[in-house]
């Protein structure tokens, strides 16, 4: 979901790119970036529909979260927010209650195995506080009562380009050796942005999570390759219908 088409904006001096910092080290809008929801499609309502599978008739497959009880899901939200809410497009808000309700529906419908829920916004901790469904980790870039901050600006475009927490998470992930990433454990991401550099207190909620994050490979949520099941439609004609 990408609310602003920054890559193709006429004011972007480098069309088709979005960089992680003012030195243009990483183009985060590379060839492997897929955007399924753009502009006004990015709404709190559509986000909840995506999670719960309650789509309008005719919604294409590419706009659906086709997960099941075996799926580990990473949800990463960043933007403006406050105590118990995150703004969408400055027009609507996604509340912590709505998030908790959506996750419970996902649990009841067997739409996930585990969820890593990360929020980078002011008072981000509050977005995880009402969750009661099992096997979910909540990470917030700031505790309740605190703001989250941007990292630095790009003078060529006159805006801040990335938030502090997201900057250090991306920096940590980019330094991982792809061949050895599976040896890196999930708990290491909890420490990538200490208060000395984040200027806020990162909060992690683990009481709903059954496993020890120190033993969970980070590739179960980041950087892993999707797996596919091949079905011979000639032997199972109904499989084609299930794909529609």
C-alpha of 137 from chain center? 12
Tell me, yes or no, if 25 is annotated catalytic. no
Q: How far, in Å, CA of 18 to CA of 6, rounded?
A: 7
Q: How far, in Å, CA of 122 to CA of 200, rounded?
A: 9
Out of 56, 122, 182, 198, which one is annotated catalytic? 122
88 bridge partner residues: 92
Pairing verdict, β 85-88 and 81-82 = antiparallel
Tell me, yes or no, if 8 is annotated catalytic. no
Q: How far, in Å, CA of 15 to CA of 10, rounded?
A: 8
**Do residues 163 and 149 lie in contact, with contact meaning Cβ atoms separated by under 8 Å?**
yes
Torsion angle, alpha carbons of 101, 215, 75, 134, to 10: -10
Out of 8, 24, 25, 80, which one is annotated catalytic? 80
Residues tagged active-site = 80, 122
């Amino acid at each position: 979901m990408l609310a602003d088409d920054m890559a193709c904006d006429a004011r972007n001096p480098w069309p088709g790119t979005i960089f992680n910092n003012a030195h243009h080290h990483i183009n985060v809008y590379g060839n492997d970036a897929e955007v399924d929801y753009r502009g006004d499609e990015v709404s709190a309502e559509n986000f909840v529909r995506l999670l719960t599978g309650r789509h309008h008739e005719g919604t294409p497959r590419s706009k659906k979260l086709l997960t099941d009880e075996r799926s580990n899901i990473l949800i990463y939200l960043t933007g403006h927010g406050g105590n118990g809410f995150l703004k969408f497009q400055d027009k609507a808000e996604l509340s912590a209650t709505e998030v908790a309700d959506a996750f419970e529906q996902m649990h009841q419908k067997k739409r996930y195995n585990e969820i890593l829920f990360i929020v980078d916004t002011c008072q981000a901790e509050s977005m995880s506080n009402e969750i009661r469904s099992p096997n979910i980790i909540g990470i917030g870039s700031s505790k309740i009562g605190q703001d989250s901050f941007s990292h630095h600006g790009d003078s060529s475009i006159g805006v801040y380009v990335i938030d502090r927490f997201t900057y250090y998470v991306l920096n940590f992930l980019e330094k991982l050796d792809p061949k050895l990433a599976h040896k890196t454990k999930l708990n290491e991401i909890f420490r990538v942005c200490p208060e000395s550099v984040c200027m806020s207190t990162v909060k992690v909620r683990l009481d709903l999570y059954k496993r020890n994050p120190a033993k969970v490979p980070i590739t179960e949520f980041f950087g892993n390759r999707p797996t596919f099941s091949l079905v011979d439609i000639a032997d199972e004609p109904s499989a084609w219908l299930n794909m529609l």
